[in-house]
Structure 1
C-alpha cells in the first residue's frame, strides 16, 4: 500500500510488520536464502507489509504464537490483509489474540491486521480502518461529523472508568482517605503540594478528552457561573507539568524504579484508565500506586466495535464473535458501565471545543499588567447572584483574591489602580511593582502581594476615571517589556467612561496616540473588561481592536468574576 497510508504527519515513520521467523529444514538453506533475498527486495521496493505506527499514539501489537509455517510458506510474502482493525492501545492485545484465533492451522499469514493506535490518530488517518475499536463512542460521533460511516451492533465490548493515580508515597496528598477528586487535584496543584500533575493530550486521547470533560463538570457543579468554572479548570491546566503525557509511559517509568529512587515520585499524579491501573498493580512492582475514580466526576471509557461501510461483513462479524467477555475481564476491563458515571454530550462539538481550549492554553511566559478602576462609581451598591446587597468593590475583592492564584509560575505581573480623588492626583498608582509572580518583594511573594492589595481595594468617593491616559501609559510600559517567547498583555477593568479628570481626551485623540507607537514585532494587546451597564463598551472595543486584543462585557454587575475569568482565558489564547 502507499507509503503515506495510515500515517499521521505528527508521528514518526511506522515500522515494518515482521512475520515470525523459522529456521529452514536441512538441505533447503540455499534455496530459501535466495527466496529470502527476493522477499527483502520486494519488501523494500513495494512496502507490501502493513506498517504499524510505533510511538505514544500507535504501537505494534505482539501477536501470539501460531502453528509454524512450512518452508514453502516462509519463502512467500504475505498478501494484503482482508480486514484492517484499529484499536485503542490498551484493548488491542485482546483484539489481536481474537484475530489470531481465526487463523487456520498452518496458516502463516493472518487475514486480519490489528493496529494499536490512539483514537485521535485514527480520526485523522486516511484511509479509515475497516473495523475501529476506539476507547470512547464519542470518537465515532466525531468521525460521523467528518463524513465517515461506521455502524455498531450491540453495546460496547467493554468499559473502563477513568481513575486518578499516583505513587503510594504521595497518596495522601491527592487522595485523602483513599478518595481522589478533581477538586483535590486542583487545590493540590495551586498550593504546590504535589510534585507534579500530568494529563494526556485532550485532542488525541480518550483519557485526556474525558478528563477535561469530567474536570469541567466538577468545577461547574461548585460554581454557578460558567466563566468561573472554566477559570478554575484552567487553573489546573496552568500548573501542569505536562499536558501531553502518556499514562502507559508513566507507568512503565515507575515500573523500572525501586522504592529507594526518589525521582519516581516526580512522576506525580495523572489520570489513566482503571484497566491500565489494575494491570500495573497486578504486576506487583516495587513502587506501588494508589488511586481511584474521582468522587466529583466519574466517567467511563467505553470500547465500541464499529464497522466501516463496505468492510468484509463476514470476517468482521467473526472477529466480533471471537472477542469474548471472559478475555476482556481477564485483561482488566469491565463488562458493564459504571453506575452513576457521567454521560458525555451527544454532540461531540461540546467535548472537542473544551479540549481544544485546554490544548490551546499557551505555555509561554506571560507578562501581564492589571489596570483596575478605582473611581468612585465602584462603590455603588448592587445585588449579587445570591441576593446580597453588596458593592462593586466588594465583588472585586472577592473575585480578585481567588484570581491571584490563577496565574502560572512563569508569569510576570504588575498592578495599577486608576482614579483621581483630587484635581492634582496622578492618573494611576502602582500597587504591585512589575516582576516575577513568585519572586519575593518586600518580604512576600508578588502573588501574595497581589492578593493582599486586591483584598484591601477601596475606591475613593467622587474620584474621576482617567481611563484613556492609564491605558496609554500601561501599553507604553509593556511595549518596552515585550520580548520574543513571551505573551505581553494589558488587562483593564472599568465600570465607566473616560472623564472627570484633567486627563480627559477625545476618542479620536486616544486612538491616534494608542496606535502611534505600535510595533507589529512587539504586540501588546489590550483585554478590556466592561463591568456593569455604565461601561463604555464602544470605547473598550476600539482600544481592543486597535491593539489586537479583546473587549468583554460583564453586563450584570454581579458578573464581575465572570469578566475576570473571560479576561484570563483571552490572555492565555483559549
Structure 2
C-alpha cells in the first residue's frame, strides 16, 4: 500500500480498524477512546443505536444484533474482517445494518467491519479501507490526485442537500419567513444579529468543504468585483465562533439541551445535511431545530460507493445490494440530486484553495497598523472589472469599506495616510488612533471610524510618496506594542515607489534602518500590497522578507480588494 501523500498537518490521526465482537489488541481500545467523543442517539425510526464520531478520527458503528448470542469467556479471537468499510457518519448506520444482514443468525464474528469516519480522516488512514462511502464524490477526486485510486460504478447511493440550521427560537434571525441564505448568514454575523455561527473544518468534512464553496459562490454573485466578494466571504470566516466544529457533536450538544435560549448562544447557527436535520427532528428533543437549504447556493452532499483494487468482489457486490433505497429513504436521504443545485468543480484544487484559506486562518488577538498611500498617483484613472472608468482612490474607498468589517472584535488597530502635499508636510498623518476596534475613536467605534475615514479618503494631487519613512515609523511604533500571544503587523498599501519628498532615502539605507532595531523576540512583519503596475514590488518584497512578512502584487485595478484580502489572510496565517 503506498504511503499517504496528503501531508497537511491539520488532518487527523490515521483511522485504526477494529473487528467487532472480540477483544482488541492491547492499546488499540485506548486509541479509540482517546480519538472519539461518543454520543449515543436512539433513532426514533428503526430504533438503531449508533455512535457519532468526533472530528479527530473514526469510531466503529454499533452493530444491531440479529439474535442474542452467548459468548464464552474463553472464546477465541475473531479473524480479521474480509471487508473494511469507511462511511460518512450520517450514512454509516444504514451501511452497518446492511452489513449485519449478510451474516448467519447468531454469528459472533462479522466478515464486514464498518467505521464512521469523516472524509479527511479516511484520506489519512493507513491502511485504506476496501470500500469507501464519503459524503461527497469530490473526495474521490482529491484522493486520486494524491495517488489513491477508487472505482465507482453507477450512481451514488443517495443525496442530501446542505441546510443552514439553528434553534427554532432564533429562526427569525437566520431564516426569515423560513428561507435561509449564505449571504444572510454573512450579514447576520457582520451586524451581530446572530449570537454565534459555527462551521466544520473544510479540510476534514464535506459539510465544511461544500459550505465554503457555496459561500464563495453566493458572495461572488452578490458582488460584481471578485475581490470584494472574497472580502465578504472572509469576513464570515473572521467572525466564526468555531471554524472546526463537528456537526455530529453540535447535534449531540443540541440534543442534550433543555433550554432553547442556552442553545441559541451555546450552539447558534451551523450547516448540516438535510438528513441530519430530519434525524434530529424525528427524535423530538426538548430544543427544536429549524433549517432550510440556502436559496443563494444549494449544494448537495452525495454518497458514492467506491471500492479499492483487491477488495473481495463478491462480498462488495453483496454489501452494495444489501443497501436498499428503502433503507436510505427511511433514514432521511434523497434518491436523486437536488434540481438546480450548484455543480461542484471537477478540479479538486478549485475547492481546496478556499478550504485551505479557511482551515489555515488563525483566530488570534491581532494588532495592526494600516499605512495607506495618499500620494497624487492614487488619483489616476483606471478601468475596473466591470468596465467603469474610475480612480485608484475610488477603488480603495470601495474595497476599504468592506475591509473594515474583516477584523474580529479582539483586534486593535490604527490607520495612517502617507503623502506630502507640501514641501514641509509630515510624512504621514494619523487618521484613526491606535486602540481596540470595538472601543471609541472620535465618538465612534474604531471599526466605524475606519470605514468613515477610508470613505473620505482623497489623495492630494502632486503629493510625494514617503514610503520608506512611513514604514520605518510604523514598524517602530508597533514594536513598542508587541505583547505575548498576539500577532502584531504593519500592513502597507502603495501604488508607487519612495520619492518626491524630503524624506527620500536609498533602498540600502532604508533596509539598514529597518533591520537595525529588529528584535527576533518581538517580530513586527510588514504585509505589503503593491497596487498597480508602477508599484515597486522588489522594494516591497525586500521589506517584507526583512521583517518576516509577505508581499502581494495587485496588478489589475480590480484586484485591489483581492490584494487586501490576501494581506489579511497572510497576517492571520502567520506568513
Task: Provide TM-score, normalisation by structure 2.
Answer: 0.90
1:428, CA displacement in angstroms? 0.8
Larger radius of gyration: 1
Deviates more, 1:439-448 or 1:118-127: 439-448
Deviates more, 1:206-215 or 1:340-349: 340-349
Aligned to 1:478: 478
Output the CA distance in 1 between the equivalents of 2:119 and 2:556.
42
Secondary structure at the residue paired with 1:481? coil
Q: Is 1:342 the counterpart of 2:349 in the alignment?
A: no
Structure 1 residues 248 and 50: CA distance shift in structure 2, 3 A: closer
Q: Is 1:513 the counterpart of 2:495 in the alignment?
A: no
1:354, CA displacement in angstroms? 1.8
Deviates more, 1:522-531 or 1:67-76: 67-76
Secondary structure at the residue paired with 2:480? helix
CA deviation vs aligned residue, 1:183-202 (integer Å, no higher than 9, x gap)? 00100000111000000111
CA deviation vs aligned residue, 1:404-440 (integer Å, no higher than 9, x gap)? 1111111111000111222222111111111111112
Aligned to 1:272: 272
Aligned to 1:284: 284
Output the CA distance in 1 between the equivalents of 2:29 and 2:260.
48
2:167–2:263 CA contact under 8 A, matched in 1: no
Give the aligned length: 546
Structure 1 residues 450 and 75: CA distance shift in structure 2, 3 A: same
Aligned to 2:333: 333
Output the CA distance in 2 between the equivalents of 1:165 and 1:329.
21
Aligned to 1:28: none
1:12–1:54 CA contact under 8 A, matched in 2: no
1:170–1:265 CA contact under 8 A, matched in 2: no
CA deviation vs aligned residue, 1:317-340 (integer Å, no higher than 9, x gap)? 101100000000000000111111
Output the CA distance in 1 between the equivalents of 2:218 and 2:380.
34
Output the CA distance in 2 between the equivalents of 1:461 and 1:50.
67
CA deviation vs aligned residue, 1:539-560 (integer Å, no higher than 9, x gap)? 2222222222222222233433
Secondary structure at the residue paired with 1:164? strand
> What CA RMSD, in Å, does the superposition of the two structures yield over aligned residues?
2.5
Q: Is 1:54 the counterpart of 2:36 in the alignment?
A: yes
1:17–1:49 CA contact under 8 A, matched in 2: no
Aligned to 2:373: 373
Aligned to 2:312: 312
Q: Is 1:134 the counterpart of 2:116 in the alignment?
A: no
2:260–2:287 CA contact under 8 A, matched in 1: no
The runs of 5 or more residues in structure 2 that have no matched partner are: 1-9, 38-53
1:536, CA displacement in angstroms? 2.2
Output the CA distance in 1 between the equivalents of 2:243 and 2:475.
32
Aligned to 1:145: 145
1:49, CA displacement in angstroms? 13
Aligned to 1:436: 436
Structure 1 residues 47 and 414: CA distance shift in structure 2, 3 A: closer
Aligned to 1:116: 116
Output the CA distance in 1 between the equivalents of 2:180 and 2:99.
38
Task: Provide TM-score, normalisation by structure 1.
Answer: 0.90
Secondary structure at the residue paired with 1:321? helix
Structure 1 residues 252 and 558: CA distance shift in structure 2, 3 A: closer
1:59–1:89 CA contact under 8 A, matched in 2: no
The runs of 5 or more residues in structure 1 that have no matched partner are: 1-7, 20-38
Structure 1 residues 524 and 116: CA distance shift in structure 2, 3 A: same
Aligned to 1:302: 302
Aligned to 1:157: 157
Secondary structure at the residue paired with 1:420? coil
Output the CA distance in 1 between the equivalents of 2:309 and 2:415.
59
